[in-house]
Amino acid sequence: MKKIEAIIQPFKLEEVKEALKTIGVDGMTISEVRGHGRQKGHKEVYRGQEYQVDLLPKVKLEMVIPASRLDEVTATIVKAARTGKIGDGKIFVFDVVEAIRIRNDDRSDTAL
């Protein structure tokens, strides 16, 4: 099993969700996060007080999938989330040791 953590532009969330749904991935957890990589922030001015805003709003998707589907899923996310500009985000992949469905104690791939 693999865990995928994808940090994407907030406005790309719907597109990515739809694309994942069409290839049959329907379990995921989404959080609104803030962060920055190479993308520069922007300037905000409040009554003459200037603030450099470095941490930009992003959306983080987390999902655990069978290892066999890894390439297919990451390719789908990349295709749907890409605009070609700095700030599109990143995908991180982790190995998962175990998954347990709390309702009925299903284990591993069956639990996904």
Measured between alpha carbons, how far is residue 48 from residues 40, 43, 45, 98 in Å?
21, 12, 6, 54
- Binders of other proteins among residues 52 to 81 (CB under 8 A) are 53
Q: CA 14 to CA 19: how far, in whole Å?
A: 9
Q: By CB under 8 A, is residue 31 in contact with other proteins?
A: no
Residue 46 CB, shortest distance to other proteins, in Å, is 5
Instruction: Judge contact between 35 and 56, C-beta under 8 A.
Output: yes
Instruction: Name the one range near other proteins by CB under 8 A: 3-11, 49-57, 70-78, 102-110.
Output: 49-57
State the residues that interact with other proteins by CB under 8 A: 44-49, 51, 53
